[in-house]
Structure 1
């Protein structure tokens, strides 16, 4: 019997995973928590065989809770539920010790297969994950510099912020994670020697970036 712990902020989403596990006799859900703190307290000293963590609903691409998970459970394999928009975080996830990545569009059989492999001490990075990761790496070519300051990607982000989009909305449009959008914004503010989003919008108008 494989003991499973789920880390998910929204009960409605975790119920889908729970329903898949309930029909598989070899999987036992021992805890379902919204935070690492709640997960640790709910386990009462018992250790799961696999932790499933949906980073899509977590802030900052799930980096902070993932670090806490790795610190609290260094020997327990973590399976992340991700989307293709988070491909820019894949390398960092793996470097942090994640043993498996599963797209949120995967079916129940994929989930169970991933759990089995992780319990056996193996990794789970399906072909589709590597394909998306490879395409992302290949697309990271040097970008032209506009106005001798901002890259094409940064100009795009300035435009989107100026149109009132959120980090998540910008990430969805550019196929990057909200965390990467935040990093780009920080770099933009540093390059332009400004401090706020309002300053960035002013810069966009004064330099005709919105046209």
Structure 2
């Protein structure tokens, strides 16, 4: 199994945010494997899906691209997430080994987990976070993985970066889970009590 992977949004013949994916992929190869040559993440022989459907393109790699899969994508709707301390867990690179993340959810009855590190909010298991205070959208300064959509929205000025603790949650009205596949299609209002966040999807 390869060490790393990228998840890329694909629709109507277009790969989205490829500059960001390519930068992360090749930076990972350099920092973790010592490889200075760059590779093109979309330079693979697999046939591209036809039609207008939305697809999750997973690109597994280490020194080179080892596997590419396309899966039709529909964002999951959540109702409850839990806050959980992640201790010293490090996911600063997009590893294929996600055992810690998957087990964190499997051990609960929640739809997902939001991780705390030293008391500060970081990410959910599959997404970065965005919080709305009635005027602006903010993303936690702390994170497990700096997602490409998070960085794009910061660069574009849409997302502001701020340290957010558990006690700060009462300052915000809405939450969104963002990643390469998800933007703000699903936005929730929420209530928070006893490390549980209950979500209500906005219609």
What is the TM-score normalised by the length of structure 2?
A: 0.28
Between structures 1 and 2, the one with greater helix share: 1
Bigger relative CO (Cα 8 Å, ≥ 6 apart): 2
Between structures 1 and 2, the one with greater strand share: 2
What is the TM-score normalised by the length of structure 1?
A: 0.27
